[in-house]
Structure 1
Amino acid sequence: MLSFEGIGTLWQVETAEPVVAEVGRRIRDRVDAFDLAYSRFRDDSLVSRLRAAPASVELPADAPRLFELYRKLYAATGGAVTPLVGASLERLGYDSAYRLTPAGAPVPAPPWEDAIAWDGRTLSALRPVTVDIGAAGKGYLVDLVSEMLVDAGHTEFVVDASGDLYRRGPGTIRVGLEHPADPTRAIGVVELGTGAVCASATNRRAWGDGLHHVIDPVTGMPATRVLATWALASTALEADGLATALFFTEPEYLTRDFDFQYVVVDSTGRVTYSPDLTGEIFT
């Protein structure tokens, strides 16, 4: 098993055949390069150049899939999923210094059309913006690592980035769904074949009373209607983005544009899930 730290999280790559040292090195380098391009926690990242003043940056060749998904989710959720919540998170204390203490009134996210322009390669800030791709970026990087394994000849593997998981291989594996109020318990299990399952929960990346990483862009405050979500899709990019979208949008609206399965735990503890869920919810 290949295990390492990257983009602030633990990665575990399990393969049927050993990952040779050179492939492992390239994977770690790829994760570091992604961080250097997209991390708002680094002053030397590409997106950090957009913080101080209107500017443009040419993003890596992997950027189109990521920003095309963001545009699609932005439209499907009425603007609730956006890469422009970075300033909101920083105001609440989740910044590069990890102050973890709010500093002033909440900051709503600006509308996409008023703040950034994306032409397929260049991201332009029409005003100073703090870009945050946390809603889908980690899932996308899971896909990119998975593609590297396929290119290296691996046909059976699991890439797990702290809960954002992509699997390739025959049959299925059982993946537990962690109870949002008790990490020692599961609310159910799903059967995962070749594809991805990603989760989002308010008890993860939380740093104070009611403060967590899933931000309502309208208010600039953490979302309160949902406690935890899971999405199963063909790619981790979509699964990760949809897990965030489920905090703000009813699943039936998202299934018009996306092919996925879901589990949602709302703030009352009620669990809803796909009628065709390949798994079991414990009652």
Structure 2
Amino acid sequence: MSGTDWEGFAFQGIGTDWEISTHLPLTAALRESLLDHIERFDAAWSRFRADSLVAAMARAPGRYRFPDEAAALGPLYSTLYGLTDGAMTPLIGSSLERLGYDPAYSLRPAGPPLPAPAWESVLSWSGTSLTASEPVVLDIGAAGKGLLVDLLAAELEGAGTGSFIIDASGDLLVRGPDPVSVALEHPYNPAQAIGVVELDGRALCASAANRRAWGDGLHHVLDGTTGQPVRTAVATWALAETAMVADALATALFFVPGALLADTFDFSWLTVFSDGSATYSAEFEGKLFS
């Protein structure tokens, strides 16, 4: 990412590195408010802490009231669950834990891959109310980081912060009059770029099989119908008006072609496959290096 005259506020949140860049330093009160917002989000949605709402759902069935952002998150997941024939699901948590991506970060499979339970059989999601008929391990990792980017952006805008860049370990949102150049990381070599995007007012989110990988070919992008890691796509990028949508679509691109998703969503995209080939939308804002 390029740019000058930016002041950076770096911190850890939801298990990853963040940086918010602004032309003027953020006040101490605003910084504290942003960190408090992240803590509230984590307390609701994290499956890695025992005191979260998600952890409570994993222990016992019942009706749970989630924060306001659940009202937008549910329909997005429901749409993508349908478009991917169940491959992308918020109920992938038990499948991740089976393969070792559990709250203790054991990174050791506890058995063969476990398909996610069928959404329609175990979970009702209505607005901010989630009702589980049995214990379920919710995991909103496919869209959650992007959602939090949008929530922090709304807080920055509400505080009168004119121009800013939010970088949540590669999930980016830019607000301001000037575009920002963003390198597209090579899926097999983080020190190398395969292209560049001029990001101007939209969100850019990426997903890659090498970002959270362990063991013998295991990684965090699982097919909910099988519980197994996806082996075809290795890296994806999506640009959309909100980071939540871009983040979710970057994951959905592992399961279905971008052209199919474009019938429902207004976004541009790039998918790189394990054989080295790539496909992208006609309006993709990036430039790929030869």
Q: TM-score, normalized by length of structure 2?
A: 0.96
1:204-245 deviation line (CA, Å, top 9, x unaligned): 011122111001111101111110000010100000000000
2:70: which partner in 1?
63
Q: Does 1:6 align with 2:13?
A: yes
User: 1:190 is paired with a residue of what secondary structure?
Assistant: strand
Indicate yes or no: 2:250 matched with 1:243.
yes
Residue identity opposite 2:29 in structure 1: E
Distance in 2, matches of 1:277 and 1:251, equals 11
Structure 2 residue 204 is the aligned partner of structure 1 residue 197: yes
Tell me which amino acid in the other structure corresponds to 2:193: A
Matched residue, 2:121: 114
Provide the rounded CA distance (Å) in 2 between the counterparts of 1:137 and 1:66. Answer: 8
Between 1:242-251 and 1:54-63, the stretch displaced more is 54-63
Q: CA deviation at 1:79?
A: 1.7
Cα separation, 2, equivalents of 1:72 and 1:192: 27
1:85 CA displacement? 0.4
Report what 1:262 is aligned to: 269
- Out of 97, 100, 103, which is 1:96 matched to? 103
Shift of 1:276: 1.4
Opposite residue 40 of structure 2, the aligned amino acid is A
Structure 1 letter corresponding to 2:270: V
Quote the offset at 1:68 in angstroms.
1.8
Aligned residue for 1:184, secondary structure, equals: strand
1:49–1:55: 8 Å Cα contact kept in structure 2? no
| CA displacement at 1:52 relative to structure 2 | 2.4
Counterpart among 217, 226, 234 of residue 219 in structure 1: 226
Aligned with residue 37 of structure 1, among 37, 44, 47:
44
Q: Residue 54 of structure 1 contacts residue 125 of structure 1 at CA under 8 Å; is this kept in 2? A: yes
Structure 2 residue runs of 5 or longer lacking an equivalent are 1-7
Aligned to 2:164: 157
Aligned to 1:17: 24
Deviates more, 1:84-93 or 1:112-121: 112-121
Instruction: Give, in whole Å, the separation in 1 of the partners of 2:41 and 2:74.
Output: 14
Runs of 4+ in 1 over 2 A off after TM superposition: none
* Aligned mate of 2:173, from 157, 166, 181: 166
> What displacement does 1:266 show?
0.6
Question: 1:253 is matched with which residue?
Answer: 260
Once residues 234 and 16 of structure 1 are traced to their aligned partners in structure 2, the CA distance between those partners, rounded to angstroms, is: 22
User: What corresponds to 1:187 in structure 2?
Assistant: 194
On the 8 A contact 2:259/2:281 being kept in 1, the answer is no
The CA distance in 1 between the partners of 2:260 and 2:52, in whole Å, is 35
Identity %: 53
Query: How many aligned positions are there?
Result: 283
1:280 matches 2:257:
no
1:155 CA displacement = 1.6
**1:111 deviation in Å?**
1.3
Is the Cα–Cα contact under 8 Å of residues 206 and 236 in structure 2 kept in the other structure? yes
In the TM superposition, residue 261 of structure 1 has moved relative to its aligned partner by 0.7
Give the residue type in structure 1 aligned to 2:264.
D
CA distance in structure 1 between the partners assigned to 2:253 and 2:214 by the alignment: 22
How far did 1:185 drift?
0.8
Q: Deviations over 1:1-38 (max 9, x none)?
A: 11111100111000122211100000001001100000
Shift of 1:50: 1.2
* CA distance in structure 2 between the partners assigned to 1:282 and 1:197 by the alignment: 18
- Return the offset for 1:81: 1.5
Aligned-partner residue type, residue 7 of structure 1: I
Q: Say if 2:44 and 2:52, in contact at 8 Å, map to a contact too.
A: yes
2:149 corresponds in structure 1 to 142
Q: Which amino acid aligns with 2:171?
A: D
Q: Which amino acid aligns with 2:255?
A: F
Equivalents in 2 of 1:20, 1:53: separation in Å? 42
Letter in 2 for 1:251: G
User: Residue 115 of structure 2: SS of its match in structure 1?
Assistant: coil
Whole-angstrom CA distance in 1 between matches of 2:122 and 2:284: 38
The alignment partner of 1:159 has SS state of strand
